[in-house]
Structure 1
Amino acid sequence: MPGENLTREEARERAALLSVDGYEVSLDVRSAVGGPEGDGPRTFRSVTTIRFRCNEPGASSFADLVAPSVTAVSLNGRDLDPGEVFDGSRILLEDLAADNELVVDAQCAYSRTGEGMHRFVDPEDGEVYLYTQYEPADSRRVFANFEQPDLKAPFRFEVRAPEGWTVWSNGVGEQHDGVWRFAETKPISTYITCVVAGPYHYVTDTYARELPDGTRLEIPLGALCRKGLARHFDADDVFLITKQGLDFFHEHFDYPYPFGKYDQAFVPEYNLGAMENPGLVTFREEYIFRGKVTQASYEARANVILHEMAHMWFGDLVTMVWWDDLWLKESFADFMGTFAGVGATRFEDAWITFANRRKAWAYRADQLPSTHPITADIRDLQDAKLNFDGITYAKGASVLKQLVAYVGQDAFLEGARRYFKRHAYGNTRLGDLLAVLGETSGRDMGAWARSWLQTAGVNALTPQVLLDADGRIDELAVVQEAAESHPELRPHRVAVGLYRRSQVGALERYARAEVDVDGARTVVAELAGQDAPELVLVNDDDLTFCKIRFDDTSLATLREHLGALTDPLARALCWSALWNLTRDALLPAREFIDLVLRFGGRETDIGVLQMLHAWAQSALVHYVAPEWRPAAGTALAQGALAELRQAEPGSEHQLAWARFFAATASAPADLELLRGLLEGTEEIAGLDVDQELRWAFLEPLATYGAADEKVLAAELARDDTASGKRHQVRCLAARPSAAVKAQAWAQVVESDALSNALVEATIAGFERPSQRELLAPYAEKYFAAIGRVWRERSIQIGMDVVRGLFPALQDSPETLAATDAWLTAHEDAPPALRRLVLEARDDLARALRGQECDAAVGAA
């Protein structure tokens, strides 16, 4: 990544100097098909014309471009020598006029890392597919520009493509003589421009509604995917969610969708979940389901569709000035995705998923040494890349949910409407949002922002219950705590719920009170005199962002009666709290696993159940004491198999338990059952072993040496698709052989031949919890390699390698010491690299504390 960074100060100086009137970008991607053109990278021609103004004639600045070569540069009709003005990532612009025209003719490289212009060859039919992905700063890999969000401008794209291809961009396009020309966009930032090209399968529809002024709004809808996925593509459901979302946002935002058409492209080898390019949203194609999935997967897809749609207003229409305020778009989109899911779609319980899954991501991120305020300090682009994290997204969304409870939903939405109207096609900072919310709510938003947006860390809320002589509540208080490293105590609007068992044994709420918790201890006066509760649930209904703690009575009740808790959101909150206790070494990991085995089979919400499965696996791998891992692993696999056999045939719960059984199977009898299910000699009533489930069953067989290269090659022949190839690569790397591990390591660390998707698959296969001894030599190799990988590879691949190959499975004080030694010896390493290693170190230290807690209880 040498020379490719951009600092906040450089961006500020350039924005103060320049304003951009428009871009014309001409791309020739005919080189995407056919054989390579020599030994260098495969390239395409990119010609860019930028018209811009300079506030200080005679001043100097620079344009951004990352390209193998530049053929020509002209500034205001004056030819510049590319060898003198282009350094590989910047084009020097000297002696600027008041009005300027820059023309850059370059050869840009196709990408295999999901950054810039990604090129994918479908192994199924040999077809080539292209798409672009830029955030935060990779449009400069495709065309010359001023790569920062606050230099917005209209764009005109022109693309020459191979015969038979279709090309899409942000605007409406027309093709003539092999050239696709697209309508000029509204003023937008460089990172949300987009081009998708290839023989994609394309489906269309139309959205229409009458606006308040009586005019009729019609939005052309499109959805596209690779031809090989067309038979699996349920475009009707995508369009249904899209129309429901457009209805919802038009009703609540009172600002018509501003970008004309609305295409949604599902593309291969995508690094993200999706990207909010206006008029052409891109998604990872895994959201097209090749086999049976649970409703949690459909809900997740709907949430992403709605999240990206919310960005059309929060992020695209109104954009942050710099990446410090990334939360201005991501927190709002994360909140709005769930808010709209509940209010507009069939996924009425989406807040349960949010409480259980999204907030778990936020809780982890907010307890890492790299935690940061929601409004972060983003010094440069490498910082920005790493801040697409659980704090910016899920914590920010949680805080917005708290804000709605604080100011009221009407005031919150009216603030959003004013924000759009006041700042349309512009850029904003935190103060701009606070100003409109202050207007609509009548509250001073400054104190709230200081507590919630400008400080880091998560508070813990614990109930204290004092009973009188008659067994009624004399006083119930909420105690607030904060970590020593982030001691801020915040104002929380919370609901406190009291629960007890009914005559039929159901654990139900019988009293609830809302209270403003502020300071170290807050008395909930409204609950005085109530009968003694068996369970006190602080943050009932999930109004705030906090770690829920329990008093002794409540914890004892959950240990025996968690499955009797009837309210699914309350149950999800309790599970989340128990998982946080496990991660904080306050609940032994084997006790958490036991709770999953005893009560998981009674969990009705499929998303919560699948989250429990993931947490139980994590508890086994990281938090169970090493001496107890074999027994705990056997118990998990046996429990999963028992639930699989008794689940309703053909149900999504059966599918979830089948996948969990495959993930935990290790005993010879379990592996033989998986083999029998694959070969058809074993059968479980109602379980359809489709292609995706076949790969899920093959993975443990490969891991334990029961599926060799020949078996995996045969399965790939059966499923010779892009997805099949990823599964095969993962299984190949999972085999328990020193030679296999050495080859996988070399492919990822020593070579750049693999695409981003295959790097990810290889790392996932390489890291096997059952192969700790086999992987031990790679701990030392990891610390020797990561500096070079970070210097030489793209930031996406660097992040994948540094995170994915950290020796977390060598969970010992010696590995912790080796990590500390690297950090000490590399204090001058790039801050983003150090951050990744610090985060991995913290996870390792947390695991060791959890193992110590688990060991202390002895035999379970």
Structure 2
Amino acid sequence: MPGLNLTRDEARTRADLLTVHSYEVTLDLTRGDRVFGSTTVVSFAAEQGASTFIDAVADTVHRVELNGVELDPAEVADGVRVQLPVLAASNTLVVEADMLYMNTGEGLHRFTDPVDGEVYLYTQFEVPDSRRVFAVFEQPDLKSTFRFSVTAPSHWDVISNMPTPEPVPAGPAEGAGNSTWYFEPTPTMSSYVTALIAGPYQSVRSELTSSDGRTIPLGVFARKSLMQYMDAENIFALTRQGFEFYEEQFGTPYPFGKYDQLFVPEFNAGAMENAGAVTFVETYVFRSRVPDATVERRAITILHELAHMWFGDLVTMRWWNDLWLNESFAEFMSTLAAAEATEFEQAWTTFAILEKGWAYRQDQLPSTHPIVAQINDLEDVQVNFDGITYAKGASVLKQLVAWVGQDRFMEGVRQYFAKHSWKNTELVDLLSELEAASGRDLKAWSALWLETAGVNTLSPEFTTDDDGTITSFAILQTAIEAFPTLRPHRLAVGFYDLDGGALVRTHRLELDVDGERTEVPELVGRTRPALVLLNDDDLAYAKIRLDPASLKTSVLHVKDFRDSLPRTLVLASAWDAARDGETPARDYVELVLQNIGAESDSSVVLVLLRQLASALAFYVRPEDREAMADAAADRLLDLALAADAGSDAQLQFTRAFSAHARTASQLDTVEAMLAGERVPEGITVDQDLRWELLTSLVVGGRAGEAQIDAELARDSTATGALAAAAARAALPTAPAKEAAWAALVESTDLPNATQRSMIAGFTRVHDRSLLEPFVERYFASVQDVWATRTHEIAQQIVVGLYPSLLTTQDTLDRTDAFLAALGDSSPSLRRLILESRDGVERARKAQAADR
């Protein structure tokens, strides 16, 4: 639609014209299942005589009144924007409209629980979707106060940014059985962090005392049919730990009046930092046993969103090019809080293998960009919630903290909040406070780390005499031609030797590295260790390589590291080398399978299993893939049987075996497990594991529609429906794939979560030839999908249905032909296709090295 893609220039022009004072938003949620009523009254100042527009993505605009003058909606409203001509110095605008409920996870999402037929609503506004609920100047620097009044069924709960008031029963005009909730005005905030959650949610309540003595009410919410699985006390405990840690570190009390955490259905992301009313994906309500890694991930997410109450909500970036000010800080602070204030003391190990792995992948794509990205319009930012903005930014902050010291860093942060609370900021505002606190000039640091793209690689170079004494030691730094910047790094070098069978650190040196070559005279004269580890303690953001002798030690003894973090760094280096086509992928597969059984960190096991799956799917030679995958599945079953009964590793190995099972004997075992036989002692085949086992049988041709229907009858829940949709799309027949394709691409009515599940099932195949008929159809349809669907729905299709598994030259050629025809007409679509193409090209390079 014209006007959906707001440009930065338009936003800057509008911000220069306006000062927004307040919004009064009245919503009527009793008008059926298609639209809801929305009336917005906006008070704002403007440049006398100027003209501008307000955003309102509406089904129908019924009334527009500007300063007491009725404007014809047919003339000023196009369904996306409402034009506002000849403004006064002080203005009052009224917009009455019908807005559409969404099933895409954007705007006001509507969901019906199949268990009890109850309706649940929630909003998701980041980046530009508050305009789907009320008329608004949709940009982060036009902050205001918001007062919501909501009419809804009386048995619902209605939650927003402010404490929920007592509902007032509606009069005859509003309909029997309805009530209205009149909320108090919010503090000054950006529209994208306002929120409305409504429906018969159930809750558990608690409270805490903030650092300024206020009592802060706490709430944890979920659908009625899920509340039995909610471990609210665990969530409250983490929340209290996070509050205490952040208030002390930031020197600023929690800025809002209450803190609710709501687990909502069909959510697109992990969570969203609505001020005082954070929404989370429902899979964080564990109805079946999950790995400890997933519990840790939820904890990090809880702490991440809580950090946003300061970084993002209290102080907000002026425009989306500084999105990293929100996300990188929340990512860094959540890991720091987890490691220093909760039971998750190994959080930096998880950060090293999970978050940094994400950053390194993203930073090697052709679409990589500086942390402070150039954001020209909303389409740019919507594809920029990526590993650079989150994980690389957090990694660079960790590097900065190592350089300036944590105490000085936090002092700068405290001054930042003291000066800019309730305002909008840019990069320079933060850097000036950090400079003042640390005494360091950060301009050069910012230019190299925040304003350039690409990841460096660090390697050791040293010589020894006949006795093994080091006679020279240097650290070499390289960069690729496309992104040649060499950067300063604060890092540690660790020496490791075997001690009683354990690989332990015997020496550590922390230093600054800069340029192509950094001599390290402090290590000259020391005895060469069994293993030299650059970036020990993971202070720096850089890929590392091992010298040949250290690499040999790591292959033989990676499981013998006494601590998890150095072990993880060595494994991450091996994974980098395999992905980069420097070492054979089969060696990495063997390294994982030989050592994962001894790994004690759940998150490391989880990531290694994902990387094992990727190596087998993409990086080993196609002619060897089937045999290696079969052997890997057998080994995973052996690991599951050998693991301690009831252990986290046993659960993960069992699930991984099911996902990889493909031979007749392996599928026999899966079939027996589903029947309750041959189950490893300590494993409970709960409902979610049943779906995994059944889907494995479906992909292998051992089960079909009848078994899927029977399982859905057993699990007639929203989760069951998603699992059934994935299983049906995974049926290994041409008609099943054709039906899934039609539903995903040709139909437009699939809810976001169902679409996501079906894409996962569609691409889960043993016989890749089933996907070949859809390659040409993908390229023929993807532009129309991008032009006609909402961002979330379109991106799922564009990325999820790209023929990534067909790692052939033909796939590259077809992609190149599409990109040539596309030209520069859609930069965001072009970026997504380029990223997918890079995956195929990388796979082919790795396959060529897998000899």
Within 5 A, what are the aligned runs for 1:566-577? 566-577=562-573
Q: 2:742 aligns with which of 739, 746, 756?
A: 746
CA offset at residue 831 of structure 1? 0.6
CA offset at residue 566 of structure 1? 1.8
Is 1:365–2:362 an aligned residue pair?
A: yes
Corresponding position of 1:158: 149
- Conserved? CA contact 2:496–2:507, under 8 Å: yes
- Conserved? CA contact 1:621–1:769, under 8 Å: no
Runs of 4+ deviating beyond 4 Å: none
Partner Cα separation in structure 1 for residue 341 and residue 181 of structure 2: 36
One-letter amino acid of the counterpart of residue 396, structure 1: G
Partner Cα separation in structure 1 for residue 825 and residue 735 of structure 2: 32
Partner Cα separation in structure 1 for residue 636 and residue 339 of structure 2: 31
One-letter amino acid of the counterpart of residue 270, structure 1: F
Decide which moves more: 768-777 or 249-258: 768-777
Q: 2:44 aligns with which of 52, 56, 68?
A: 52
Is 1:512–2:500 an aligned residue pair?
A: no
1:539-562 per-residue CA deviation (whole Å, 9 max, x = no partner) reads 000001100111111112112221
Q: 1:81 aligns with which of 72, 93, 98?
A: 72
Partner Cα separation in structure 2 for residue 697 and residue 146 of structure 1: 49
Within 5 A, what are the aligned runs for 1:82-481? 82-174=73-165, 175-177=167-169, 178-211=179-212, 216-481=213-478
Is 1:495–2:492 an aligned residue pair?
A: yes
One-letter amino acid of the counterpart of residue 189, structure 1: S
- Conserved? CA contact 1:769–1:809, under 8 Å: no
- Conserved? CA contact 2:211–2:247, under 8 Å: no
CA offset at residue 780 of structure 1? 0.6
Is 1:590–2:591 an aligned residue pair?
A: no
Partner Cα separation in structure 2 for residue 743 and residue 411 of structure 1: 59
**Which secondary structure does the structure 1 equivalent of 2:27 belong to?**
strand
Partner Cα separation in structure 2 for residue 598 and residue 45 of structure 1: 61
One-letter amino acid of the counterpart of residue 44, structure 2: F
Corresponding position of 1:771: 767
CA offset at residue 457 of structure 1? 0.3
Partner Cα separation in structure 2 for residue 234 and residue 305 of structure 1: 13
Partner Cα separation in structure 2 for residue 93 and residue 660 of structure 1: 58
What is the TM-score of this pair, normalised by structure 1? 0.97
- Conserved? CA contact 1:412–1:440, under 8 Å: yes
**Which secondary structure does the structure 2 equivalent of 1:95 belong to?**
coil
Partner Cα separation in structure 2 for residue 173 and residue 77 of structure 1: 32
Gaps spanning 5+ residues in structure 1: where?
37-41
Partner Cα separation in structure 2 for residue 817 and residue 535 of structure 1: 44
Corresponding position of 1:822: 818
Partner Cα separation in structure 1 for residue 246 and residue 660 of structure 2: 43
- Conserved? CA contact 2:15–2:142, under 8 Å: yes
Corresponding position of 1:61: 52
Partner Cα separation in structure 2 for residue 163 and residue 561 of structure 1: 64
Partner Cα separation in structure 2 for residue 205 and residue 46 of structure 1: 33
Partner Cα separation in structure 2 for residue 528 and residue 294 of structure 1: 45
**Which secondary structure does the structure 2 equivalent of 1:365 belong to?**
helix
**Which secondary structure does the structure 1 equivalent of 2:535 belong to?**
strand
What is the TM-score of this pair, normalised by structure 2? 0.98
One-letter amino acid of the counterpart of residue 775, structure 2: A
Partner Cα separation in structure 2 for residue 31 and residue 337 of structure 1: 41
Decide which moves more: 827-836 or 346-355: 827-836
- Conserved? CA contact 2:699–2:765, under 8 Å: no
1:782-838 per-residue CA deviation (whole Å, 9 max, x = no partner) reads 000000001111111110000000011111011101100100111033110000001
Partner Cα separation in structure 2 for residue 627 and residue 190 of structure 1: 54
Partner Cα separation in structure 1 for residue 824 and residue 735 of structure 2: 35
1:40-94 per-residue CA deviation (whole Å, 9 max, x = no partner) reads xx1000000110001x200100000111110000000100011100112111001
Percent identical among aligned pairs is 52
Partner Cα separation in structure 2 for residue 316 and residue 542 of structure 1: 30
CA offset at residue 209 of structure 1? 4.4
1:323-366 per-residue CA deviation (whole Å, 9 max, x = no partner) reads 00000010000000100001111101000000011111111110
Partner Cα separation in structure 2 for residue 31 and residue 687 of structure 1: 48
Partner Cα separation in structure 2 for residue 98 and residue 253 of structure 1: 38
Partner Cα separation in structure 2 for residue 759 and residue 294 of structure 1: 25
Is 1:638–2:640 an aligned residue pair?
A: no
- Conserved? CA contact 1:779–1:810, under 8 Å: no
Is 1:9–2:9 an aligned residue pair?
A: yes
Is 1:692–2:688 an aligned residue pair?
A: yes
Q: 1:840 aligns with which of 836, 839, 844?
A: 836
Corresponding position of 1:39: none
Within 5 A, what are the aligned runs for 1:613-632? 613-632=609-628
Partner Cα separation in structure 2 for residue 166 and residue 107 of structure 1: 22
Corresponding position of 1:712: 708
CA offset at residue 465 of structure 1? 1.5
Partner Cα separation in structure 2 for residue 512 and residue 683 of structure 1: 46
- Conserved? CA contact 1:648–1:654, under 8 Å: yes
1:243-264 per-residue CA deviation (whole Å, 9 max, x = no partner) reads 1100111111111111110000
- Conserved? CA contact 2:210–2:253, under 8 Å: no
1:126-163 per-residue CA deviation (whole Å, 9 max, x = no partner) reads 11000000101000000000000000001100100012
Partner Cα separation in structure 2 for residue 43 and residue 683 of structure 1: 50
1:621-650 per-residue CA deviation (whole Å, 9 max, x = no partner) reads 010110000111011101100000011111
- Conserved? CA contact 2:195–2:277, under 8 Å: yes
Corresponding position of 2:657: 661
Q: 1:722 aligns with which of 707, 718, 723?
A: 718
Partner Cα separation in structure 2 for residue 467 and residue 102 of structure 1: 78
Is 1:43–2:43 an aligned residue pair?
A: no
One-letter amino acid of the counterpart of residue 187, structure 2: K
CA offset at residue 527 of structure 1? 1.4
- Conserved? CA contact 1:2–1:791, under 8 Å: no
Corresponding position of 2:29: 29
CA offset at residue 769 of structure 1? 4.1
**Which secondary structure does the structure 2 equivalent of 1:31 belong to?**
coil
Aligned residues: 841
Partner Cα separation in structure 1 for residue 552 and residue 36 of structure 2: 65
CA offset at residue 313 of structure 1? 0.5
1:471-528 per-residue CA deviation (whole Å, 9 max, x = no partner) reads 11111111000111000000000001111222x2222111110110010011122211
Corresponding position of 2:172: none
Partner Cα separation in structure 2 for residue 527 and residue 682 of structure 1: 55
Gaps spanning 5+ residues in structure 2: where?
170-178
Q: 1:601 aligns with which of 591, 597, 614?
A: 597
CA offset at residue 768 of structure 1? 2.0
Partner Cα separation in structure 2 for residue 338 and residue 28 of structure 1: 41
